[in-house]
Homo-oligomer: A and B are copies of this chain.
Amino acid sequence: MVERSEINMADVARRAGVSVATVSRAMRGLPGVGEATRARILAIADELAYVISPEASRLSSGQTGRVGVVVPATEKWFYGEMLAAIERRLRAADLDVLLYQVSDTEVRRRFFQDLPTRRKVDGVVLIALPLPQEEVDRLDLLGVEVVVAGGRIRDFAHVEVDDRAIAMTAVEHLVGLGHRRIAMIRATIYGDEHWAPDTLRLEGFHQGLEAAGLPLRDDYVISVPFAPTAGAAGTQRLLALDEPPTAILCFSDEIAFGALQGARAAGLSVPGDVSIVGIDDHPLAEVMGLTTVRQDVAGQGERAADMILRRLSHTAVEDHVEPHELVIRTSTGPPRTP
């Protein structure tokens, strides 16, 4: 059934004499396809769908009553929080949520190869995850509405934060306290080479340093797996440098929780000897006294859910950038030696 679905999309393209990408754009109502072409494509698609399966026509009218939510891993707070918000909003609209976890590279590859959501859902909310180009290309083949939450993938409607500005905000806070030796702990996830939030936050970090006239030091940027224990180990590495940083920006609060313990394990006090800043405002950040740049994860999930609801009712949507704010607690202070 899955293979038939793929054949279907290719068949439509062949019969209409256009590319698969054009078929996809036409079906998603995106610009760049002439009205006559679009009408012809939709007619052919309807016809083929009818021949192949009665379920397909039900799908094309958007009536499975289900939305697929694709998420890397629900055990990680960020994804669990966003999924929670999306599910609540969709449930309130009487839609069911089909959950797809595509945590490791292999499962993800299979997901995008099998396109399992086809004919099972009316639309898909894709919670930000790193995708190689070939998998991005395959998203068109889903043949359903797609909304991206917590990031951006090609030209799909999306909700995101401004990762560059978030990192710059954190650096400005540290610079304002008098820090001049500021390090950053980046994070990698699922061994993927390119993860947009990581890349963008690094750019913001660099921009923040440049704006303050501070040098970019290679030894002050390290990359660790996305886990608290890795944050602790990374912090100890940074603090063991001949000229250690007086402040550390961490990719996320969960890395920062590790950093707090790493500093303590190195016999240093926070913020007396070293200041630590996170990003997120994780539920434990308050109790840990962590200074952080807050992003409203649940709010982004709700927005994304609203967006897919609008797409399903053929209403226009606008991309959304969720605001962030600095939350100052007790893990940052002036450096002892500026």
Q: With an 8 A cutoff between CB atoms, is A73 at the interface? A: yes
Known A-B contacts A227-B283, A229-B287, A257-B287; A101 and B88 likewise in contact (beta carbons under 8 Å): yes
Among the 9-residue stretches A53-61, A77-85, A137-145, A164-172, the one with 4 or more Cβ atoms under 8 Å from chain B is A77-85
Q: With an 8 A cutoff between CB atoms, is A87 at the interface? A: yes
Q: Write out the residue numbers on chain B whose beta carbons fall within 8 Å of the beta carbon of A261.
A: 287-289
Q: With an 8 A cutoff between CB atoms, is A120 at the interface? A: yes
Q: With an 8 A cutoff between CB atoms, is A115 at the interface? A: no
A276 to B6, CA, bound (A): 57
How many copies the complex holds: the figure is 2
Among the 9-residue stretches A15-23, A90-98, A177-185, the one with 4 or more Cβ atoms under 8 Å from chain B is A90-98
Q: With an 8 A cutoff between CB atoms, is A218 at the interface? A: no
Interface residues on A, range: 35 or more
In the complex the two chains form, is A84's CB within 8 Å of B98's CB?
no
A286 to B289, CA, bound (A): 19
Q: How far is the CB of A31 from chain B (nearest CB, A)?
A: 33
Q: Write out the residue numbers on chain B whose beta carbons fall within 8 Å of the beta carbon of A116.
A: 96
Q: With an 8 A cutoff between CB atoms, is A4 at the interface? A: no
Chain A 193-230, CB-CB to B under 8 Å as 1, else 0, gives 00000000000000000000000000000000001110
